Amino acid sequence: MDPSEELRGAKVEEMLLAMKGMGRIKVTRVLREAGISRSKTLVGLTHGQRDRLLGALGCEEA
């Protein structure tokens, strides 16, 4: 995961909220399930956090 320069400071929570079908309650649940703080940025995610986030979203890593 290598976000563009514009997204490097974006918070994971903000990016999830921008996704279709993701409201505040669902985003809060996903972040809690993945063990990720609401203030975590995209570039601040560890590999483990990224994997847990993908799992919580029901995605498989490519």
pLDDT digits (tens, 9 = 90+) for 12-44: 999 999 999 999 999 999 999 999 999 999 999
Q: Output the pLDDT for position 28.
A: 96
For residue 61, being part of any structural domain is answered with: no
> Residue 62 domain-assigned?
no
Handedness of CA 37, 4, 9, 43 (dihedral sign): positive
Phi then psi for residue 11, to 5 deg, are -80, 145
Phi, then psi, of 54 in degrees rounded to 5? -60, -40
Burial of 14 (0-12, 13-18, 19+ CB in 10 A): middle
Does 51 score more than 70 pLDDT? Answer: yes
pTM, entire model:
0.82
Q: Is residue 3 part of a domain?
A: no
On whether residue 27 sits in a domain, the answer given is yes
The larger pLDDT score, comparing residue 8 to residue 12, is at 12
Query: The domain containing residue 39 runs over which residues?
Result: 8-56
Which backbone phi and psi does 41 adopt, to 5 degrees?
-95, 165
4 pLDDT band, cuts 50/70/90, is: confident
Q: Is residue 1 part of a domain?
A: no
Whether 56 shows a pLDDT value over 80: the answer reads yes
